[in-house]
Every structure is written in C-alpha cells, then in structure tokens.
Amino acid sequence: MKKAVKWIAIGCLALVVVVLMALAVVPLLLPLESMVAQAIEKQTGRPTKIASVSLSLLGGAEVEVKGLEVSELKPYGDRPLVKLNRLSAQFSLLPLLDGTVALGMVEIDGLELSVVSSEQGKLNIQNMPAGQKPKSGAEPTKTPDLPDMETAEAAKPHFFLGQLEMTGSVVHLHNLANGQSAQWPITQAAMRTNVQGKTASIDIKLTAPGLNFMVKTAQGPTDEPTRVVAGLDLDEVGKLAAVVLPGLQCRGKIKLGLDVRGTGEHPEVRATLAVDNLYVHQPQSDIAPLDLQNALIEFAATGDTPAQTVELHKLYIWLPSAGYELNAEGVMSPGKAHGRLEQKANLARMSQAFAAFMPKGLAMSGMSKHEVILESDSQSITLHGGGSITDLSLLMPGAAKPFTEKALDNRYTLKFDGKGNVLIDELAILSRNTKIFVKGNASFDKIIKAHLNVTGPDLDLDPFLALLTASEDGQPAKARENSRPGQPAKAGDNAQPNPPKGSVAADVRKALEQVDLSLNVGIGRIIYSGLMLENFMAKAKLGQGKADLEELSCVLFEGRLTAKAALDARKAEPESAFDFSISHMKVTPERFALLQKATHIFSMPIRIVKGEFYVKAKGKALGLTPEQIKRTASGEGKIEVTDGVEVAFDALDRMQGGQFIAPLVRQNIPKFYTRLDGDYTMSGGKLDYNLNLLESREKIDVRVKGSTLLSNGNVDARLLLSGEGIGRDLKRFLGQDGSFPIEIKGTLERPVAVLRVSGNLLKGLFGN
C-alpha cells in the first residue's frame, strides 16, 4: 500500500513537471511574431512587422508585444499607419475553461495612428481590403458587458478587464496635397474594474483636445447610479479634422449626460443631449451646411424586467433654431402598448437648418403640427393620427412654381397585423378645395400590394400640378427654353434634340416596379387645369412597370366623357396611349378657352362662341414631362357639331395689311353655321387640322386648314371659302382651290390674319 501511494505521488509530481515544462517551452516554439503580423496584414492590407511577441504561461499568464509597425501604402506617404511601442496584457487561464476571458492589467504605450489625405484627396482609412469596413483610427473603448448580478459569483462576466492604461498615444493628421499636418494627442485613456464582495464597479476615462468621455458604473447591491458624461468641442476638433478634410468648417459644443439607476429588475434611465451653436460645412461637397444654434433632447424611462414592461415617461426634442419640437410618452409590454407623440415644426426654418439632408433646390414654408396615438394588443398595432399645415408652400427641385395651400389637414387610422399587412380604416386629406377619403388594405413585402377605394366630394389637382412640371433635366420648362440660343422653332421644325434622361422617368419606373395596386375612384368633382370633371368614376391598376386606366367616366361641361389610357414605363422612354370620347359637351367662349389651355386637340386658331360638341380622339406619346409629350404625341381624332355653332375668327380682328380687304372679309364671312365637322392628326410636335364650317345661312362655307406647333403655340393656317353665297367682291380673290389670300399666323393665344400677296390677289385688285 505504501509503495502504491509512493508511485502515485511520483507520477503526479512527474505530470506536474511535464505540464510546467510544456507551459514554459511551447510558447517558445510557436512563431508568434509571424502569426500576429499575418493577422494584422489581412485586416489592413499593409505590410506589418513586429520586433517581438512573448507569451508566458507560468506564474500568471502574460502576453507582451513590442515594436509593432504597420507600414503605409505608397500614395499615403512614409509615416506608418500604426506604430506601437509596447502592449502588455495579463490574463488568467482557469476562467477560459468556462468561456470567460479575464484580463488583469493591460498596458498600451506609444500607440501612434496616422490619418492621411493623399494628393488626390482620398483618405488612407478608406483604402482597406475588399470586404473590410474602413476603420477610422482607434476604436472607442467599450464598456465591458457585465450582466446584472445579485452576488459577485452571479456577476462574473464573459469578458472581464481589470485595468487598462494607455500612455503616449497620438493621432497624426497629414495632407499630402498641401503639406499641412497636425497631431491629436490622447491625453488620458484608462479603465478600472473593481469587484468587492457582491458589488462590481467600472470607471472609464478618455480625454483628448476637444473630447471628454467618462463612464462610472456599479452593479450589484448599491445605490450608486451608472453615469456617462461626454463632451465634444467642435471648434477644436474641427480645426484638426480640416487638415485631412480641407475647407471643413466646424463649430459648437455637444454635451451628453446619462444616468441609469434602480436595480436590474426595475431600471430607471435618464439622458440629456445638449447642442450649442452647432455648425458643420464642407463647401467642396456642394452640400448645404448643418446649422443648429441650440438643441436639447431629454429622455426618461423605467423598466419592469419581470413584467417585460418599459414605460417611456418623456422623450422631448427641442430644436428652436430649426423650429421643431417633439413630445412623446407611452407604455410597452407583451401583448399591449399605448403611446402618444406630438410634434410641431416651422417648415421654413427646419428646411434651412437641415438643407444638408434634403434634395438640392427643395424649399418649403408653413407651420405644421401632428399628433399620433398608438394602441396595440397581441394581434395588431393601431395608429390614430392627424395634423395640419397652415400657409404651406412647397417648391420641388426643377418645378416651375410652388405648391401652395392655406390650410391642409389630414387624419388617419391604420391597423398593422405584424405580418406586413395594413388595414387603412381611414385616410383623409382635407383642404379648402380638396376633401378626399381613402380606405383599403395593403401588404409590404418585396413589392407593395394594395387595393384602395378613393372617394370624396372634391379634389383640386391644379395646385399639385406645380409639383409635376419639372423637366427631365431638373430645370423648369421655361428656364430650359430660355437657355437655348437662336430663334424660336418654326412651324414644322421637329428636329429638336431630346432632353437628357433625368430622374423623372427613372423614379416613375422604379415606383411602378415596386407596387401592385388596384384603385377604385369615385369623386364628386375634380378640377384639372381649370376644367371641372363631375361625377368622376375610374378604375386603375399599377404594377410591373405599367399603369393602366381601365375605365373612366365623368361629366365635362354637361357632356359625358369616357376614356381609357395606359403607361408603360419599362422602356427607356416611357410610352403612353389614350382613347377617349365626349358627347353633348356644351361649349361657351370661357369653356373653349379652358379646353384650348388643357388639351392639345383644341389647339386651333378659332374661338367657339357656342355649340354642342361630339369629340373622339386616340393617340400615344413618349416621355412623362409636358415638353416630351408635346414633342412626341401622335394620334388622330374627329370633331362634330350637328345642331349649330357660333364661331369667332379673332385673327381677322387683328388683320395686318390690306385695309380694303380686311373689312370686306369681316363683313362677309358669317359667324353662325348649322354644322361643323373636322378631323385632325398629331405628329412631330404638331397638330394638323381640317375643319369644315358648313351650310351657313348666308350659304358661305368656311374651311380652316393648317397646323399648330404644340411646343410654343405657333399657328400656320389658311381660310378656304365656298358656297353660293360668295359674292362677286369675294370671289375675285379666291384661288382655284377656294383659298382666300389670307394666312393665319401668330400664336394660339393671339392669332393674326396676314394678307398673302399672290397672283389672284393682284388680279382681284386690278382686274384682268
């Protein structure tokens, strides 16, 4: 028995000796320098060398790295990207058995980082291996992940750092383009963790010129709160950053305060973020500056961990220089929640302060207020909301004029089922001339699917049209036309260059590819370009890059209008087609003026005083902007009046030349006709028409034949006369085809009759 005990003791002693020898010898056999250098080279893409790496596993494990240097790439100069004099870390072996990394003392001495802007203006920290995220220098010190603990044993973390000391650290800033350089020393970087009995405390401090960061936390049975205090002086930091970001302008101060109290079961959190005189701008970026004179964010919440409940007591955002204020509160728990949010905004001040985050050229003004109430249960979340904007003015980039509205109200009730489905119980848009209500359902996945019913008594589209008048190149149509050199286009000249493809078509195409919508519309009255469409009914489908107006009907000037239309945005230039007809439409001078302004098919140099019209038309066009549609529209149609029509030839009232002929024509050409019929075609940016005014009481029929250039309204037409009522005075001036030596020129808004010198004219004046 004694021999057995003796041999066991000898065996154990031998095993201990072998283990100790292994702990002492194995680290010497490993190529630690090359292993660490290769790992760093993979992350940075830079050559790396290390003077020495030592690993000791006896008498308390310790690793030490000396003389680390990560070289820089040639375009960024000769200074190393990273240089480290010495790193030493002590750690325990036994905690590794249960997955805990326990570091005792970590010392970092002489850490130098370089941020360099090349001669081409590119930062070295942006040039990292593919798949690696750029690193902006030293990573911030992280607060150890210490779970809540009731005892020191329960508080044992998966990662534990006892103490960190960083000395002699600095960030070098250098610009190779202008030779400027600066240094940003890290004056203090330290962390200490202390566990005593059932309490663990952590202190972190990081200071540098313009930067101050401090964390103090304690966990366990203690009344001490966790506190985070941070400050950033952009006046000082901005001057340093401007070395590698030339022209950068920064000023202002940012302060953060955070307190966490209570226990792990009932935590209390309060936070304050204050901003004073903040200004950030880099002119070379062509982005508007961020300018906040002052700002305040306050947050307060409590939790009930066993009940899985969070109560938001206060969320307050106050940006006085931006004219914005927000208040929110609520309670969230499993299966039930409720909350309220209110916000107010001065849109002019807000758009100016945050211009850096908005599309260039966007301008808006007005006063906005909004309120949202949230309610939820285990099945769904419901949002009740509403608000108003007064004195709204919104100018989109490239639009000819702003959208304005004295008062615009909205309210909604939306129910979300948590599976991407939304029930639109109510969505109302209300203004002085618009009252629209939307109901339906939608789902959100790769594409948005929805079925919507749109109803209401009134919809005024004219104010919204201002948002859609931007040309493809982002400029208003008039500005783009005025920028063209040379004379105005002549009638028949359709060789205008295509405008550059802009974002309008791309945005519409993308939107139609991301939706699958069906719409049923029933609106009592729609105002479009001054026209009043009554009893408006329509069905439409949008999706797969297309939009189809399957059917439309309404009353226009006491007549019935029906139409179909389609838009295919999948092509490089979106293509649209239409087919419509109007019956029993009663026209007056005022109504005819509106028709001329709103539709191409009435772009004719006459004025209808009175008549009941039948119109049919079909056509197609390319593009989405008014300029493109006018230039590419093609089609045909017919116009007919069977019960009499009264016409005014305004061009004759402005006749140029021929003082003898002008009154002769005005006196003999009638104003009333028992019938009108005609046809027209559109192509090459022109409307060609052939109108017959027939069976007049005076037995003089008039034919108007010509064209109108849609891009600018230039007119080129002739009058042809026939019939038994043509007297001797008129007949002697007619050509063989019945044409009178008068041409109608000018524009659609102001046609002018011009005397055309011809052989028939001379013969009529001087006889044979």
- Whole-number Å distance between alpha carbons of 369 and 409: 10
Lowest-pLDDT range of 5-9, 286-290, 730-734:
5-9
Percent of the chain with pLDDT over 90: 42
**Residue 18 — pLDDT band, cuts 50, 70, 90?**
very low
Strand ranges for 347-468 from DSSP E: 363-377, 381-395, 403-416, 421-431, 435-444, 448-460
- Whole-number Å distance between alpha carbons of 371 and 355: 25
Distance in angstroms between the alpha carbons of the first and the last residue of the chain: 158
Task: Quickly count: other Cβ atoms within 10 Å of residue 319's Cβ.
Answer: 22
**Residue 754 — pLDDT band, cuts 50, 70, 90?**
confident
Mean pLDDT of 662-667: 70
Lowest-pLDDT range of 196-205, 435-444, 611-620:
196-205
Q: Looking at residue 234, what is its pLDDT?
A: 93
Rg (CA), the chain: 40
For CA atoms 526, 528, 530, 531, the dihedral sign is negative
Q: Looking at residue 737, what is its pLDDT?
A: 66
- Whole-number Å distance between alpha carbons of 247 and 680: 61
**Integer angstrom CA distances of residue 653 from 689, 711, 757:** 22, 25, 19
- Whole-number Å distance between alpha carbons of 350 and 320: 9
Lowest-pLDDT range of 6-10, 125-129, 320-324:
6-10
Query: Which string of DSSP letters, residue by residue, matches 85-128?
Result: EEEEEEE-SGGGGGT-EEEEEEEEEEEEEEEEE-TTS-BGGG--
Contact (Cβ atoms closer than 8 angstroms) between residue 572 and residue 501: yes
715-740 pLDDT tens trace: 999 888 776 656 555 666 666 666 77
The closest alpha carbon to 135, from 126, 143, 123, 148, belongs to: 126
Contact (Cβ atoms closer than 8 angstroms) between residue 569 and residue 509: yes
607 pairs with which residues across the strands? 648
Return the residue matching tokens 């909604």. 412
Name every residue whose Cβ is closer than 8 Å to that of residue 503 and which is 6 or more positions away in sequence.
474
Contact (Cβ atoms closer than 8 angstroms) between residue 50 and residue 68: yes
The closest alpha carbon to 115, from 133, 94, 92, 138, belongs to: 138
CB-count burial class (<10 Å; 0-12, 13-18, 19+) for 234: buried
470-514 pLDDT tens trace: 444 444 444 444 433 333 344 334 444 444 445 677 888 888 999
How is residue 359 written in tokens? Answer: 């599309």
Name every residue whose Cβ is closer than 8 Å to that of residue 58 and which is 6 or more positions away in sequence.
20, 23, 24
Percent of the chain with pLDDT over 70: 79
Q: Looking at residue 146, what is its pLDDT?
A: 40
- Whole-number Å distance between alpha carbons of 172 and 161: 28
367-383 pLDDT tens trace: 999 999 999 988 899 99
The closest alpha carbon to 121, from 249, 239, 243, 235, belongs to: 243
Query: What is the amino acid identity at position 4?
Result: A
CB-count burial class (<10 Å; 0-12, 13-18, 19+) for 320: middle
Work out the mean pLDDT of the chain and round it to a whole number: 81
The closest alpha carbon to 211, from 244, 245, 180, 188, belongs to: 188
Q: Looking at residue 557, what is its pLDDT?
A: 95
Lowest-pLDDT range of 516-525, 547-556, 597-606, 654-663:
654-663
Lowest-pLDDT range of 191-200, 307-316, 411-420, 517-526:
191-200
Contact (Cβ atoms closer than 8 angstroms) between residue 579 and residue 550: no
561-613 pLDDT tens trace: 999 999 999 988 899 999 999 999 999 999 998 888 888 888 888 888 899 99
CB-count burial class (<10 Å; 0-12, 13-18, 19+) for 360: exposed
